[in-house]
Amino acid sequence: MAPECLVPDVSFQQKWTFVMLLPVCLGALFALVHLGMLGYKVLVKGRRKNLSNHSGTMIAGGLALFYILYLYLTRTILEIFNCAPTDPPDGYEYLSAVFERCGVPGGTQMRLIVPAIVCLIGYTFGYPAFLAVLFYYRRALIMEDQLLRAKGAGDDHLTNPNAYPTRKAFGRAYYQFKPDTFFWVLAIILRKFFIAFTSLMFRRSGAFQLAASLLIMFLAYAAQVKWNPYMSPQEYEAVLKAHIESSYTSPIHARLRVTLANIENRGKKRTHRNLMTKDGRVDYSAVLGILTTWLFNYNTVEAILLFSAIIVNLMGIMYQAGTVTSTVYRSGRDGITAVIIVVVALTITYFVTVVVTEITILCNEASRRRALAMQRTAKAGAAAASGGKKVAGGTGAGASGGAAAAGDKADGDFNAGNVENQMNPMFLGTGGVGAPGSASSANEAIMAQREPPSVDLWRVFQSSYTDLHTQVEALTTQLQAAKLEAQRLQMAGGSEDESAGAPLRTGSRGRKAEFRPTLSVDGEGGVIAAAGAKSPMAGVNPLTSGSSRALAVSGGGSRANPLAAARGASAGRSGGGGGATPAGARTAVALSDLRKQGRSSRTRGAATSPAPGDDE
């Protein structure tokens, strides 16, 4: 019995108006819930930020409900345009929903024709148009989100920094499709529209209606087999492999590959599980998982359902033909009826089996993950607590953290395969390795669980982050000071070269001064190194000269070069040349000058540099 039959006084116009206002009422309900949650966050919790982080979930729920109501809304709207003549015809057409003449002023059709056009544009055409615009402008984000889904990641901002808001708000519209066919929901909506159109506009002739429906189902089946748009969990690895292959020919896949390479995948990889448990029993959930490889694949399910619809339409056409032709085909109506009953029963049984199996697998996996997460959290908390006491002692807590990780691996009842571990830089200690016990354990615990960490782990995380922040600030300060010092020395060197009249080398990147060793005085006042392009000994390299004798140049006020002094002293020892000061004393003086005059030599050199004509 239809719901409207429970209240006999409800007219067709009232029923039609209620159905058309149903999406509006649901939208108003969602708006009230949204305002209620905003008030709760502001007034009760006292929050001032992230007040609308629940809006994505509400948008997803609204789109899912509209997707379910789309076919019913479209059929109800098209009923206003469905007029048919009587049999035998009397020259007029009547509204199929109610036996009233069409086009009569003040009649049911004329009163509802304008609202029907508005609803047709807003609901029937507006919903797919909205999805088409959404898919067009967010196609890169949607494809990235689906690739992350294939990797088993993307459920939070950490593993899905770019497309997580899109997944949260609009993921219901594309989550079951492959990255290259994320728009397939538009094809499904188009199929629903044509089915509704066929069921209403062609109801005068049952055979023609079944033929049109058969054509629609056949085209849908051909497209399904051609593209296989659904992305089952068993196809994740194939989807990732196809993405890598497409990245060499498709620009968007190439960009997505670079983007995904910069996102650290913290989700778990899907691996093959053993069919036997530790105690030697058969793991039925693993057996069901293997059965889903093909039989319960989403593309297989869709193809079987479409094929069953084709068979039903074909049997309907044959049944209709048997009622109007000779008695030869009328005897086969019982067989046609039996075939339809069997096909419908098998299809419903298969679909229910798939749904129950899918729910069973998801429940088992969810419970298994919760159990493992609780074990990891408990062990990581114990390791962090013990590690906090042993931080000053050394590596004892690090060993306990390793034991906890080994215990986690031993507790798993399926093969995890090869797992690649990377150190989180936020938990690096001052020595460049993970802090014993605390940082490593906190990193493993936080990355393993989906829910917020415990208070102890969060304190360890805060401590590690504070240390890292302090180190970064110190390194930033040192880097800025080094940059300023380098700029100052470069400017000072350029001014000296210009004052000495030395030739400068020019290049494509600017002017660079030639390197010339400057004067250096030994411990007894002897000149042991010299510089200057105009010196009489300009052709001799004072750094490699085998003599410690003075290279006579004028301009005693030039700055000293301790490096040249040290090398000159060494050359004096090797060449046998004599100076008043022993070689060891000269080396000590040179090293002392190297330490003391590093910052002030440029200033003194700039103040006492000779004039351009002093060398002569």
Average pLDDT over residues 360-369: 79
Q: Tell me how far apart the alpha carbons of residues 437 and 384 are, in angstroms, rounded to a whole number.
A: 6
Q: What is the pLDDT of residue 593?
A: 60
Q: What is the pLDDT of residue 497?
A: 53
Residues 532-590 have pLDDT tens digits of 444 434 444 444 444 443 333 334 444 444 444 444 544 444 444 444 444 455 555 55
Residue partners of 124: CB distance under 8 A and separation at least 6 = 70, 73, 74, 77, 193
Q: What are the DSSP E strand ranges found in 121-174?
A: none
Average pLDDT over residues 24-31: 93
Q: What is the pLDDT of residue 6?
A: 64
Q: Which two tokens stand for residue 613?
A: 């004509």
Spell out the domain ranges in the chain: 3-210+232-268, 291-413+434-497, 517-608
Q: Tell me how far apart the alpha carbons of residues 586 and 110 are, in angstroms, rounded to a whole number.
A: 112
Other Cβ atoms closer than 10 A to 121? 12
**Residue 506 pLDDT greater than 70, yes or no:** no
Helix (H) or strand (E) holding 93: strand 93-95
Q: What is the pLDDT of residue 80?
A: 93
Q: What are the DSSP E strand ranges found in 478-591?
A: 504-507, 510-513, 520-521, 527-529
293 DSSP 8-state letter: T
Q: What is the pLDDT of residue 228?
A: 95
pLDDT band at 222, cuts 50/70/90? very high
Helix (H) or strand (E) holding 58: helix 55-78
Q: Are 254 and 248 in contact, with CB atoms under 8 Å apart? A: yes
Q: What is the pLDDT of residue 417?
A: 38
Q: Are 173 and 131 in contact, with CB atoms under 8 Å apart? A: yes
Average pLDDT, the chain: 73
Q: Are 175 and 284 in contact, with CB atoms under 8 Å apart? A: no
Residues 79-121 have pLDDT tens digits of 999 888 888 888 888 998 888 999 899 899 999 999 999 999 9
Residues 173-211 have pLDDT tens digits of 999 999 999 999 999 999 999 999 998 888 878 889 999
| End-to-end CA gap in the chain | 119
For residues 593, 599, 601, 606, the Cα torsion angle rounded to the nearest 10 degrees is 180
Which segment of 413-422, 444-453, 565-574 scores lowest on mean pLDDT?
Answer: 413-422
Q: What is the pLDDT of residue 436?
A: 40
**C-alpha to C-alpha distances, 519 to 460, 565, 586, nearest whole angstrom:** 57, 8, 14
Q: Helices 583-596 and 562-575 sit at what angle, rounded to 10 degrees? A: 170
428 DSSP 8-state letter: B
pTM of the predicted structure, to 2 decimals: 0.60
Q: Tell me how far apart the alpha carbons of residues 428 and 439 are, in angstroms, rounded to a whole number.
A: 7
Nearest CA to 180 out of 113, 243, 86, 100 is that of 243
